[in-house]
Amino acid sequence: MFESAELGHKLDKKTYAKEAAALRADLLDMQYDVKMASRFSVVVLINGVEGAGKGETANLLNAWMDPRHIETHAFPAPSDEELERPPMWRFWRAMPPRGKIGIFVGNWYTDPIVARVSGRIKNAALTVAIDDILRFEKMLTDEGVLVLKFWFHLSKKAQEKRLKSLEKDPKTRWRVTKRDWKLFEDYDHYVDVSEHVLRETSTGAAPWTVVDGTDENYRTISVTRHLLDTVRARLKQKEDKRKKASIAPFERSLDGRDLINTLDLKQALSKKKYETELEKLEARLNLLARDPRFKSQSLIAVFEGNDAAGKGGSIRRITGSLDARWYDIVPVAAPTEEERAHTYLWRFWRNLPRHGRINIFDRSWYGRVLVERVEGFCSEADWMRAYSEINDFENQLHRNGTIVVKFWLAISAEEQLKRFKEREKTRFKRFKITPEDWRNRDKWDAYEMAVCDMVDRTSTEIAPWTLVEANDKYFARIKVMKTLCDRLEAGLK
C-alpha cells in the first residue's frame, strides 16, 4: 500500500511555483463554491507517520484557502465532558456544517491504530473498531458529507532524517516530542497495523489517498490537487433527486397479524391499584437514580407512540419521582437551522446526557423511520439505512454505559378519536391537537406497519423496544415505570 509513496517523488521549485499559484486561486474559488452551494460539508482526515507533514499540511490548507471557513481540529486528551459520552462524541461535536471544511488532524483512526501498536488492544478489538469506522463513514457519505482521507507516509529512513532535521532547527524543535521517538522505534509495527487499517477502510465512497511526505513541494501539490479535483467533481454532481417513498414497501403478513394489532389493548388497572403500584415504583426509581453505580452511567428513555397515546403523561410520572436537577427532557420537533446543516443524528448526539443523568426524548431519532418514511420526507434508501445507523448509535451508547429504554405507546384508532375530541374541549389541552394530527389518522395502517418494521429492525438485546398497551392510561404508566425500573436495575454495573 505504501510502495508508491516510497519512490521518493519530487517536484522542482519552478514547477512547484507555477502549480502552486494556479492551485491557490482555484482552491479559493472552490471553497466559495462550496460555501455558496452549502449542499455538503467537506471532512478532511489527516493521518500518517510522524514527520511526514501532517501539521504542515493542515497549516498550508488554512494558508492557501480562507481560514474563516475552515475548522481545524486536533484531539488531545479528552475533557471530562467528553469522557462521559461515547468516544465518538468529540468528533460529532467537531463536525462542520454544510458549506464548511473541517480538517481533522488526528481523528477516529488515531486511537485504534495507536492502541493496537502499543498492544493495548488485540486484533479482534481492532477489527471491531474498523467495523465501527466503516459504518460511521458510510453514514457520513450517505448523508452527503464529502470525506477525504489523507495518509502521510515516510519510509523509516526518511522519517529518522526528518525528525533529526526538525530537532536541529530551533524553530521547529518543539514539534518533535519524546513520544515521536518512541513511535519511531515502533515504526515497522506502526506501518503494518496502519496498512491493515487502510486496506480495510479504503471504501469506494471514502478511499484513502497515500501521500509521499518526503518532498514538501510534491506533497503539497499532490494533496491540494486531489482536494481540488475531488471537491470540484462533487460540486458538478447534480443534486440527488430524492425519490419520494411509496407505500409499496409496506407488506401485510399473510394472516394480517402484526406486532401492533395483536396487542391486547383492553388491559387496564383500577385507580386504586394504579396508585399503590405507582407509589412503589416511584420510590424504586428514585432509589435507583441515586444508586452510586449510576454516577458513572447514564439513562436515556425514548418515547414514541400514536398521537395522544399519553407520552407526556408517562413522562410526567417518571419525572414526578425524580429530582428536577437530574433529568432533561428533549422534545423533538422540527430541527433548527444549525441542526439541518448537519447529518441526521447530529441533533441527538448533541443532547446526550452526562454521567449520573437522565435524558428523556419525547419523540426521537426514530422519526426518520416513522413520520419521515410514511410521509415521504426522505427516500427509501435514507430510511432503510437509518435502521442500522440507529443500531450503531445505540450500541455506542450501550458500550458507554448508557442504558437505553425505548417505548412505543399504542392506542386504538377509536381511543385516539375519543381523546382528540376531548382535547378539543379542554382549555389547556387544545394546543395539543393540530390539523396534522387529524391528517395522520388517514395513514393509520401505514404508520402501523412502519412501527412493526421499526421494532423488528431495531429491537436489540441492548436496547429492546417495549410496546405499551396504552388505551388505559393507568395500565400504560405502570408498565412504563416498571420497565424503566427493571431496565435501569439490570443495566447498573
Return residues touching a copy of itself (CB under 8 A): 25, 28-29, 32, 35-36, 55, 58-59, 61-63, 66-74, 79-81, 103, 105, 171, 174, 283, 286, 290, 312, 315-316, 319-320, 322-325, 327-329, 331, 336-338, 362, 427-428, 431
Q: How far is CA 396 from the centre of its chain?
A: 9
Total length of the chain = 493
CB of 331 to a copy of itself, least distance (A): 4
Cell reading at 442: 388517514
Residues with Cβ within 8 Å of 310's Cβ and at least 6 positions away in sequence, in order, are 409, 411, 470, 473, 476, 477
CB of 201 to a copy of itself, least distance (A): 23
Nearest to 368, CA basis, from 101, 143, 60: 143
Cβ-based nearer residue to a copy of itself, 6 or 33: 33
Cβ-based nearer residue to a copy of itself, 215 or 362: 362
CB of 61 to a copy of itself, least distance (A): 8
Helix, strand, or coil (residue 451): helix
HSE toward the beta carbon, residue 109, CA cutoff 13 A: 26
Cβ-based nearer residue to a copy of itself, 28 or 381: 28
Cβ-based nearer residue to a copy of itself, 105 or 231: 105
Cβ-based nearer residue to a copy of itself, 433 or 446: 433
Cβ-based nearer residue to a copy of itself, 358 or 455: 358
Decide the pairing of beta strands 358-362 and 327-331.
Answer: parallel
Type and span of the H or E element at 476: helix 473-491
Three-state SS for 71-120 is: EEEECCCCCHHHHCCCCCHHHHCCCCCCCCEEEEECCCCHHHHHHHHHCC
- Residue 259: CB atoms within 10 Å: 19
Residues with Cβ within 8 Å of 460's Cβ and at least 6 positions away in sequence, in order, are 391, 394, 395
Q: Scanning the structure block, which residue is given the C-alpha cell 497515500? A: 210
Given a contact cutoff of 8 angstroms between Cβ atoms, the answer to whether 80 and 139 are in contact is no
CB of 25 to a copy of itself, least distance (A): 5
Residues with Cβ within 8 Å of 438's Cβ and at least 6 positions away in sequence, in order, are 420
CB of 360 to a copy of itself, least distance (A): 9
CB of 376 to a copy of itself, least distance (A): 25
Cβ-based nearer residue to a copy of itself, 87 or 464: 87
CB of 444 to a copy of itself, least distance (A): 25
CB of 273 to a copy of itself, least distance (A): 22
The partner residues of 360 in beta bridges, in order of sequence, read 301, 329
Cβ-based nearer residue to a copy of itself, 123 or 177: 177
Cell reading at 313: 403523561
CB of 231 to a copy of itself, least distance (A): 14
Cβ-based nearer residue to a copy of itself, 297 or 458: 297
